Structure 1
Amino acid sequence: MGLYDAARLFNFEVESSENLRFIPLAVRFNLDRFGLRISLDQWQMLPYDDRVLLARFPVEDGSEIEPNFDHAVDEMLRTHANAVPEKFAPDTDPVWAHADAVPETVIRQSSLAGVSSPSLSRWGELDRFQRYALAKLARRTGELNHDFLPAMREFGLAD
């Protein structure tokens, strides 16, 4: 699989991303997979076309274009932000990768949002990128993420 034709955004992200002012989940997903961290300030220093390009990288495993993501981020940051991405060891067993257990953070975030948490069967029906999105949006404990409920609705998990 090559690059997507357009930036990969969930519907709930279109408004909240404000024309890619914020880092979309597809980019966050790939940053996490490659063990790279960039700040919002660094992201916003990148030209719009570069942000679109990074959001077009696939989120599926096994893509032949996949290894180019980290090189693209590195080159773009060096060129436009005079910086390099922070590196960390990627999680080799993230909670969202498991279709057989709803993460505790997603259950807590659902409660904060006033909706039922996904059943185990519905959680298992989500694709891995959708599970990643919910887990990422639910990572703050005790505070409702403004995109969590819209994501639950988009994924058919809440009314």
Structure 2
Amino acid sequence: MALYDAPLLFGFEQESTENLSFIPLVVRFNLDRFGQRISLEQWRRLPHGDRELLARFPVEDDVAIEPNFDQALAEMLRTHADARPETFTPDGDPIWAHTDVVPETVIRQSSLCGIGSPSLGRWSELSRFQRYALAKLSRKADVNHDFVPAMREFGLAD
């Protein structure tokens, strides 16, 4: 398992993560995949180098990632935050993994933002991580300030 050379941040996240003060989508993706949850307070208690390392873990399917991510996160939290990640059973069939349907939440968020939702063809062309990002950004009923920039970055909006 190889780490990315630098934190994997989407362009639209560069400003919103404020130099990793907020949990980037790459970390959220791996937390969700491996059934772990941490608070923003716990994230911010980690040294910047640890946050950067967690943001360098791959988003590809690789069985070697899980124990390394789990162990790294647990050790970092224990050492720097005197905490443990909350665990849960990950969704075995998340909607963002499907290429045969655009999630209702993405359609709703597009409407809230006044833009067209992705066509099924364009949705299916996105990477798993891009689909995850849009689904994550659209999970709440309020407008997400990163949704339109993400749609633009992924070539889905003008």
**TM-score > 0.5, shorter chain as reference:** yes
Is residue 2–residue 63 contact of structure 1 (8 Å, CA) maintained in 2?
Answer: no
For residue 9 of structure 2, what is the aligned residue in structure 1?
9
For residue 152 of structure 2, what is the aligned residue in structure 1?
153
In structure 1, distance between residues paired with 2:110 and 2:70: 33
For residue 112 of structure 2, what is the aligned residue in structure 1?
112
Give the secondary-structure state (helix, strand or coil) at the position aligned to 1:7.
Answer: coil
Q: CA deviation at 1:151?
A: 0.2
Question: Which deviations, in whole Å up to 9, do the C-alpha atoms of 1:51-72 show, x marking residues without a partner?
Answer: 0000000000025344200111
Is residue 54–residue 73 contact of structure 1 (8 Å, CA) maintained in 2?
Answer: yes
**CA separation of 1:63 and 1:4: change in aligned 2, threshold 3 A:** farther
In structure 2, distance between residues paired with 1:53 and 1:152: 27
Is residue 58–residue 66 contact of structure 1 (8 Å, CA) maintained in 2?
Answer: no
Is residue 32–residue 90 contact of structure 2 (8 Å, CA) maintained in 1?
Answer: yes
Q: 1:5-154, aligned counterparts within 5 Å?
A: 5-62=5-62, 64-141=64-141, 143-154=142-153
Count of aligned positions: 158
After the TM superposition, which of the residue ranges 95-104 and 58-67 deviates more from structure 2? 58-67
TM-score under structure 1 normalisation?
A: 0.97
Question: Which deviations, in whole Å up to 9, do the C-alpha atoms of 1:107-135 show, x marking residues without a partner?
Answer: 00000111000000000000100000000
- C-alpha RMSD of the superposition: 0.8
In structure 2, distance between residues paired with 1:33 and 1:66: 9
Unaligned runs of 5+ in 1: none
In structure 1, distance between residues paired with 2:145 and 2:54: 24
Is residue 34–residue 66 contact of structure 2 (8 Å, CA) maintained in 1?
Answer: no
**CA separation of 1:35 and 1:65: change in aligned 2, threshold 3 A:** closer
In structure 2, distance between residues paired with 1:83 and 1:135: 28
Give the secondary-structure state (helix, strand or coil) at the position aligned to 1:4.
Answer: coil
**CA separation of 1:58 and 1:78: change in aligned 2, threshold 3 A:** same
TM-score under structure 2 normalisation?
A: 0.98
Q: CA deviation at 1:155?
A: 0.1
